[in-house]
Amino acid sequence: MNKAQKAAIWDAVHRERLALAGDLRGLEQVHWDTASLCDGWSVHDLLAHLIDAAKTTRLGFAWRLAQARFDFDADNEVGVRRERRDAPQDSLAEWRRVAYFTATPPAPLSSRLVEAFVHGEDIRRPLGFEGDYPIEYVVTALKLQLATSVKMGGGKEIARGRRLVATDADLDVGEGPRVRGRSIDLLMLVSGRS
């Protein structure tokens, strides 16, 4: 991946972070307490996770994971507790502050697109909001999920035995019963969402 491609991915991630911040502006407490699509996490918790992820460096990720005895879920819970402010508006202010960060754990850069889009939907769908995602980068995220094992946060095994056909992009992959939908919906499917 060349420098221009990396810059374009970060631009898409930063735009999505700011769009999510805009969607969350003015929420009442009841909305912040709404269950996200991530089991056990409210909208506020998931925003704290996104803040934590935006700050996570490659070296920091390795250190933290070792501290958590290589338990991804335990490490994520520590990150949520560290970054979740008492007042949701304070968490939202921190989210805006880190929106342009370019730190990343040791993963393909396209994983930042997966995180931004999937977690954006994890928050928006329960609140009844609709995201506006650049199709080209949703397809990039979807292709990464299709090539990555579930053990590593992907959806290769979930997609196995299905033919995924995007209704809004030139994407037709896999074999088996056809599943048609918008690229974002296919991305959510292979990311383990119903």
Q: Where are the domains of the chain?
A: 3-106, 135-190
Question: For 59-108, how does the pLDDT look when each residue is reduced to its tens digit (9 = 90+)?
Answer: 776 677 677 677 677 777 888 899 999 999 999 999 999 999 999 888 89
At 68 the pLDDT is 63
Q: Which residues of 36-45 are buried (b: 16+ CB within 10 A; e: fewer)?
A: bbbeebbbbb
Query: Is residue 149's pLDDT more than 90?
Result: yes
Band of the pLDDT at 51, cuts 50, 70, 90? very high
Which 3-state string (H, E, C) describes 13-65? HHHHHHHHHHHHCCCCHHHHCCECCCCCCEHHHHHHHHHHHHHCCHHHHHHHH
In contact, 82 and 91? CB cutoff 8 Å: no
Average pLDDT over residues 17-27: 97
Asked if pLDDT for residue 190 goes beyond 70, the answer is: yes
Give the SS3 label for residue 174: strand
